[in-house]
Amino acid sequence: MSTLVRAKNLSKRFGNVTALDAVDLEIPEGRIVGLIGPNGAGKTTALKALLGLTSFSGELEVLGMDPRRERHRVMQDVCFIADVAVLPRWLKVRQALQIAEGLHPRFSMSRAEKLLAASEVRLDSRVGQLSKGMVTQLHLALVMAIEAKLLVLDEPTIGLDIIYRKDFYATLLNDYFDEGRTILVTTHQVEEIEHILTDVVFINHGRIVLNETMERIGERFAQVAVAPDQAAAARELQPVYEQDVFGRKIFLFQDRSPQQLAALGESRVPGIADLFVAKIKGAAA
Instruction: pLDDT band for 161, please (50, 70, 90 cuts).
Output: confident
pLDDT at 84 over 70: no
**Average model confidence (pLDDT) across the chain:** 89
- pLDDT tens-digit readout, 209-242: 999 999 999 999 999 998 888 889 999 999 999 9
What does DSSP say about strands 32-36 and 199-204: parallel, antiparallel, or unpaired? Answer: parallel
DSSP 8-state assignment for residue 126? B
Ramachandran angles phi, psi of 232, nearest 5°: -65, -40
- pLDDT tens-digit readout, 165-179: 888 888 888 877 877
Nearest-angstrom CA–CA distance, 172 and 85? 19
- List Cβ neighbours of 111 (8 Å cut-off, separation of 6 or more): 144, 145
Mean pLDDT of 144-171: 85
- pTM exceeding 0.75: yes
